[in-house]
Amino acid sequence: MGLNEKVCKKLEMADPKNSNHVAMFPWFGFGHFIPFLHLSNKLAEKGYKVSYLLPKGAQPKLSQLNQHPNLIHFFPLVVPHVEGLPPGAETCSDVPYPLHDQLCTALDLTRDQVKAILAVIKPNFVLFDVAYWIPALGRELGFKSVMYATVCAAGHSLRLVPAMKIVKGMSFEEMMQTPPGYPSSTVVPRPDEVAQARSLAEEFGSGLSKYDRLVTSKEESDAIALRTCREFEGPFIDYMAQQFGKPVLLAGPVLPEDPLSQLEEKWHKWLSKFEAGSVVFCAFGSQIKLKKNQFQELLLAFELSGLPFLVALAPPEGCSTIEEAIPEGFEKRVQAKGWVYGDWVPQPQILGHPSVGCFVSHCGFSSMWEALQSDCQIVLAPHLGDQIVNTMLLVKEHNVAVEVEREGNGWISKENLNKAIKSVMDNSSEVAQVVKSNRYKLKKVLFDENMQESYIDSFTMNLQALLIN
Ligand SMILES: C[C@@H]1O[C@H](OP(=O)(O)OP(=O)(O)OC[C@H]2O[C@@H](n3ccc(=O)[nH]c3=O)[C@H](O)[C@@H]2O)[C@H](O)[C@H](O)[C@H]1O
């Protein structure tokens, strides 16, 4: 009897009510909270109960994304203070990137709280990403552990497989190599990605390197789950399965259906002043803090473009408010055509507004999926390693976006950003037509209404199959 038949038999015999409880325990960053919560919504639609463990201060920003509060319950954790962290720090948004090591140590120190909760709620499965000690808890408490990766399969295949260990002191030439059997010649190391990938050898919580933590999480867990699909990353998915010798469950893009319906009036009203597809929207996720001069240069690029723009970026380094960072006379010059906003915006809903025609993004994995779901042209300015890999997937592998050219030191000039925006916003340009046509074709495949449903169905089928072994 094949696996699917066995699972079907098991499902017929067992009351699904007995094995449909999943606990979620993501890394303490919104780029992880949000994908885990989107998956929670999809599982709840299939009748699953979800217990979601997270720092207590993160819950308010996430509650609005919880579409099934009767089935998805939050379990707030107290994040212990670790020396070096600002008092009360709980998520990546509270601390600069270099302090994520200490934040991850704090996550490890929630182990007793997590164990106490799991011992009481008795989930059938726990989905996690950086808490490499969850599989051991699973063997002790009797649940199946699944490492749910919220970055692309290409990024994991390139930098987080046993075939090529990332350690301190590797030469540039070594870092420019791809692991044995790696399945791509377009998504490959490049100097700025190598510079970022070196951080994988650095400590990331409790003395472990990021590489060791993330590879151990995959090696120890009962299965790996990826927020992606064959149509987007097929060869990388197969490579991951071969490297780790265990089931790889695919969730698909896992995005909520039409987000525009919930757009708040203030955004809708302002955006609706402009003609369809004319507004440039820029956001760089929940973690990036730019240097003040780079922040100002980006604003000057949007002014130079002459297009209406909405910029949602955190205040740059050294500025506590966005107003402090805006260049002299800028607001007077751009008048009602530009809006610079220094706090959280409803990004997916803004991308769904008909006036928005271009998304300037750092290519974080969630922003990447939201860009592909939208009808916007895509301009990419990646910062962290996996964002560069995501960028190569979109630009080199699928040719659906353009990347901003950087100076040698990583500087983004107003001229180069303006050039990239114009290349996709000038409908007469060949680049604009090619990326637009490729994007529509890819969107048709990735967001075909039955595709997401079939991915979640097979995801739950494969989850249940873990209970048989
Ligand atoms: C896996 C990890 O995710 C991280 O998260 P980050 O927040 O930077 O970016 P996204 O993944 O786009 O996630 C950001 C999420 O926040 C939403 N959002 C953001 C800003 C805002 O003002 N309003 C919003 O609604 C956005 O819509 C998206 O859903 C990094 O990429 C990191 O490289 C990657 O390893």
Q: ipTM above 0.90?
A: yes
Atom 5 of ligand 1: nearest residue by CA position? 31
Q: How far apart are the first and last CA of the chain?
A: 14
Distance 386 CA to ligand 1 centre (A): 12
Residue to mutate (ligand 1; options 366, 372, 373, 389; most atoms within 8 A of CB): 366
The number of the ligand 1 atom at minimal distance from the alpha carbon of 385 is 33
Distance 163 CA to ligand 1 centre (A): 29
**Distance, CA of 467 to chain centre:** 28
Distance 261 CA to ligand 1 centre (A): 21
Distance 367 CA to ligand 1 centre (A): 6
**Which residues' Cβ are closer than 6 Å to ligand 1?**
29-32, 34, 150-151, 283, 285-287, 312, 344-348, 364-367, 370, 384, 386-387
The number of the ligand 1 atom at minimal distance from the alpha carbon of 383 is 33
**Distance, CA of 217 to chain centre:** 18
Q: Alpha-carbon distance 393 to 396, whole Å?
A: 6
Q: Is residue 282 within a helix (H) or strand (E), and if so which, with residue range?
A: strand 279-283
Nearest of 305, 301, 311 to residue 426 by alpha carbon: 305
Distance 445 CA to ligand 1 centre (A): 23
Distance 47 CA to ligand 1 centre (A): 27
The number of the ligand 1 atom at minimal distance from the alpha carbon of 155 is 35
The number of the ligand 1 atom at minimal distance from the alpha carbon of 370 is 27
Amino acid at 420: A
Give a three-class secondary structure readout of 294-309.
HHHHHHHHHHHHCCCE
Q: Is residue 454 within a helix (H) or strand (E), and if so which, with residue range?
A: helix 449-468
Distance 198 CA to ligand 1 centre (A): 22
User: How big is the CA angle at 336 (ends 334 and 342), to the nearest 5 degrees?
Assistant: 80
pLDDT tens for the 469 residues of the chain, in order: 554 455 555 444 444 456 899 999 999 999 999 999 999 999 999 999 999 999 999 999 898 889 999 999 999 999 999 999 999 999 998 998 899 999 999 999 999 999 999 999 999 999 999 999 999 999 999 999 999 999 999 999 999 999 999 999 999 999 999 999 999 999 999 999 999 999 999 999 999 999 999 999 999 999 999 999 999 999 999 999 999 999 999 999 998 876 556 789 999 999 999 999 999 999 999 889 999 999 999 999 999 999 999 999 999 999 999 999 999 999 999 988 999 999 889 999 999 999 999 999 999 999 999 999 999 999 999 999 999 999 999 999 999 999 999 998 899 999 999 999 999 999 999 999 999 999 999 999 999 889 999 999 999 999 999 999 7
Distance 468 CA to ligand 1 centre (A): 36
Enter the pTM of the model.
Answer: 0.92
Tokens representing 399 are 């040719």
Atom 8 of ligand 1: nearest residue by CA position? 285
Backbone torsion region of residue 6, taken as left when φ is above 0, otherwise alpha when ψ lies between -120 and 50, otherwise beta: alpha
Distance 31 CA to ligand 1 centre (A): 4
Residue to mutate (ligand 1; options 27, 28, 30, 193; most atoms within 8 A of CB): 30
Q: Alpha-carbon distance 281 to 265, whole Å?
A: 17
